[in-house]
Homo-oligomer: A and B are copies of this chain.
């Protein structure tokens, strides 16, 4: 198909498709004349994927490129997960304060309380103490505490259990074939992060209404 049809099929404007191709995120079509190229269904799938990652999952184009690089190089399920997570940690939204100092300013060389807490949580839960994840979680705990809304231990424990429940579902949803597994883990996680957070808000309204003894519908703002 021509680029105009590729645009129609995917619902992505021609200019955006051209931009994706120019940036190397979507492979070039087969050249059919000096000014035209022909695209196939694999191009349409790729355009849809790039769009979903950049718009719904909110990744930068640099992060989209990292994700595609991981997707294009198959590995075992577990390796894939690590590779994908590390590619994503470089950019993902909500990454916490990446520039925050993880050292106790009063005692250089000593880990600060947030980092110790993140490590302790990982150890208690049997999670691998992935340095990037520890750094990230510590930054997020530190940011909450700095805003004077520290995350209490009981609250953190409930969120950790919820995260484990979600992760068990994530891994169970991964199909057997490695290439499909990769897609599912990487894209499934990215694209369902916002789903999980939206449902958290639905469920908060329910839980809050139950606590108030009120009707479930919040009054209009």
Contacts and interface: CB of A to CB of B under 8 A. Distances in A.
A65 interface: no
Given A155-B173, A192-B155, A216-B126, A143 B56 contact: yes
A76 interface: yes
A144 B153 CA distance: 34
A93 interface: yes
Given A128-B206, A128-B209, A163-B200, A173 B154 contact: yes
Copies held by the complex? 2
Contact of A165 (B86, B141, B148, B158): B158
Interface residues of A, number: 102
Interface string A187-221: 11101111111111111111111011010111111
A48 B46 CA distance: 42
Contact of A79 (B49, B76, B144, B219): B219
B204 A167 contact: yes
A208 to B, nearest CB: 5
A162 B166 contact: yes
Interface of A: 11, 45, 48-49, 51-53, 55-58, 76-79, 81-83, 85-87, 92-97, 121-122, 125-128, 130, 133, 136-137, 139-141, 143-144, 146-149, 151-152, 154-173, 183-185, 187-189, 191-209, 211-212, 214, 216-221
